[in-house]
Amino acid sequence: MLDSRSVSRLHALIQRRDTGDLALVDLGSRNGSFVNGRRVSFPVVLNDSDKLVFGDQDLVFRNPARSESVLANSGVDLRNEPTTALHTNSLTTIMVVDIRDFTPLARSLPEALLSQTIGTWFLRSGQIVQRLGSWAQKYIGDAVMAVWVHDQREQLGADLVKVLRAVTEISAATAEISRALELPVPLRIGAGVNTGPAILGGTDYTVLGDTVNAAFRLESATKSIGLGVAIGGPVYQGLSESARLGFVRREVELKGYEGSSIAWAISFEDLKDSLRKNG
């Protein structure tokens, strides 16, 4: 909490990445976040002694011994340190939502408007997935990844409906942000959703495994499919028969996977209608 009226109520966050780096994410703050004099538009990895500015508040980020190489050179032996807790083979659903064609849009926007746009989108998306039960969320470039953990497998169908509802709400929030900020062209997004086992846990909410990789690939496949949402077979099979209505079967090439894969795709509008009919 920074005691300044120039700092927004939800101004920025620092998140730990899988690599161990710490990154600063602005959340659409009115006066912006700055690292070494440069305004933050996308997540920025922080280094020791970086100068941070939030409104009229000046801070210095300190993390002198982050890297393993620094620790190794200092003679510190980590072999007897407590092991970070990881839970293997947890059934998870991974949702990846990415802003389409953001690079050309970013080139055409003033820096302040660009920061406000991506920051507000991160904030709204994060709020939506948290409210709908996400175990963790991460901000990567111009994308959001959210994770749902299915501890009770009999509740899988209901959990998947929450995930898909999050997708439609993020779509609606994206359109609302475009209108409110009067962007020259509307923001467009694509979403990929996949269900399967993943390694997860630790204080930094690590999520690893093929399920994660496939979710990113499915999101990317929406560009060639021509529909906004693509889900993997396990997601489709986990939905009730009525919740599957509107999805179409597509063969897609997923980068890094041999041969073609099956995805089930739907537009944001049709997904919203399907969820409304299913309560």
One domain for residues 109 and 55 = no
Quick one: pLDDT at residue 106?
82
- Output 158 or 203, whichever has higher pLDDT: 158
One domain for residues 176 and 209 = yes
Check pLDDT > 50 for residue 182: yes
One domain for residues 120 and 147 = yes
One domain for residues 25 and 104 = no
Calculate mean pLDDT across residues 100-126. 90
pTM: 0.83
Quick one: pLDDT at residue 60?
96
- Determine the structural domain holding residue 25 and report its residue range: 1-81
Last residue of a domain, one of 81, 113, 133: 81
Quick one: pLDDT at residue 133?
94
Whole-number percent of the chain with pLDDT over 90: 65
One domain for residues 72 and 160 = no
Last residue of a domain, one of 81, 98, 127: 81
One domain for residues 26 and 150 = no
One domain for residues 37 and 104 = no
Check pLDDT > 50 for residue 209: yes
Residue 58 DSSP SS3: strand
d(CA 55, CA 7): 5
Please, what is the average pLDDT of the chain?
88
One domain for residues 178 and 99 = yes
**Contact indicator for 271, 167 with CB cutoff of 8 Å:** yes
Check pLDDT > 90 for residue 206: no
Check pLDDT > 80 for residue 202: no
Q: Total domain count for the chain?
A: 2
The first and second tokens of residue 46, run together, are 């922080």
- Output 63 or 201, whichever has higher pLDDT: 63
The first and second tokens of residue 150, run together, are 């299915």
Calculate mean pLDDT across residues 123-135. 95
One domain for residues 184 and 95 = yes
Number of alpha carbons in the 13 Å side-chain half-sphere of residue 268: 18
Please tell me the least confidently modeled range out of 17-26, 69-78, 101-110, 231-240: 69-78
Percent helix, percent strand, percent coil in the chain, to nearest 5: 35, 30, 35
Last residue of a domain, one of 38, 62, 81: 81
Check pLDDT > 60 for residue 68: no
